[in-house]
Amino acid sequence: MTTPKSEAVRLGFQRSCIQIPLDQLHYTIDIPSGVKQSIKYRQIVASIKAVGLVEPVAVTVDRSAPNKFLILDGRLRLEALRDIGAASATCMLSTDDEGYTYNKYVNRLSVIQEHRMILRAVERGVSIEQLSAALDISPSTIRDKFRLLEGISEDVATALADKPVAAGVFRLLRKMRPFRQIDAAHTMINLGDYSIRLATALLQNTPAEQLLDPPNGQNQNASPAAALQRLERELAALQADTKLLEESYGPSSLQLEIVRTYVRNSLLNNASVVRWLASKKADYLQQLQRIADIRSADGI
């Protein structure tokens, strides 16, 4: 059934990225001094040199200046492009007129998306050593990420592509046959739990005939009732953990709001404090700005 135009979902960004000259891009909040000497910034520069700009810069039209664009997310990426002498940046253009903070809505790379990014980089001729230097992780870790989906069902990879799955989960799924992998993946999605703990429980309660390498011990002799009891114990433990989180959420949210209000009103609204932090403790200022931008405990 075709969705009526009045009910169509409005996209926050244009479907295709565009190239924008760097001299048309600017931001209203300056980068704190000292940021370019940080490890994070050096990693960004090395990554762009090695594999190019992976995550586009998010921009919106600057209505106060013709042919200019405001940065919603990606100030450090923009500065890195300028430092390496690039002429333009790949950008995604916001269609939203409200000028919201993009970081509230951005989804960071999942492990599968990171795996595919590494595959694309290698296909373009980037070596494992270059990726290791760009991402500041060991070559062996790069190789593990490269092989992440070996033995994983294509349906599972599609279902978990944008989910916050721990990399170790795929090592456990790989021990199951494809149909059991799909069943386990849907169980994790339904529970909203992508932890190694749940994946381990699902593996332990997988019938021997659904494992690639069935053990010779107790799993083959275990009755369905015993397997169900073990799974129930694991789920009960997960529910207990969830209950503890629910009980602490309210007090934690209140403490967060008190801290955020103090940082915003007493520190960042004090010009003298901000100037001192910018000149003496730029990294502290950056962290305080992040705290002030937090809207809820979910956003930490």
Q: Which two tokens stand for residue 293?
A: 């931008």
**pLDDT 10s per residue in the chain (300 long)?**
444 444 444 455 666 788 999 999 988 777 777 788 877 787 778 778 777 777 788 888 888 888 889 888 888 889 989 999 999 998 888 866 444 444 444 444 577 877 777 777 777 777 788 777 766 677 888 788 888 888 999 999 888 888 888 888 999 999 999 999 999 999 888 888 888 888 888 888 888 888 888 766 544 455 666 667 667 767 766 776 676 666 666 777 777 788 888 888 888 888 888 888 887 877 888 888 888 877 655 545
Where do we find the tokens 């529970």?
A: 191
Provide DSSP, 14-74.
-SS-EEEEGGGEE-SSPPPTTGGGSHHHHHHHHHHHHH---SPEEEEE-TTSTT-EEEEE-
- Cα 273 → chain centroid: 32
Q: In the chain, which ranges are E strands?
A: 18-21, 25-26, 57-61, 69-73, 88-93
What pTM, to 2 d.p., does this model score? 0.46
Q: Exposed/middle/buried for 185, CB within 10 Å: 0-12, 13-18, 19+? A: buried
Q: What is the dihedral of CA 20, 23, 29, 35, to 10 degrees?
A: 90
- Cα 221 → chain centroid: 42
Apex 163 CA angle, 251 and 184, nearest 5: 105
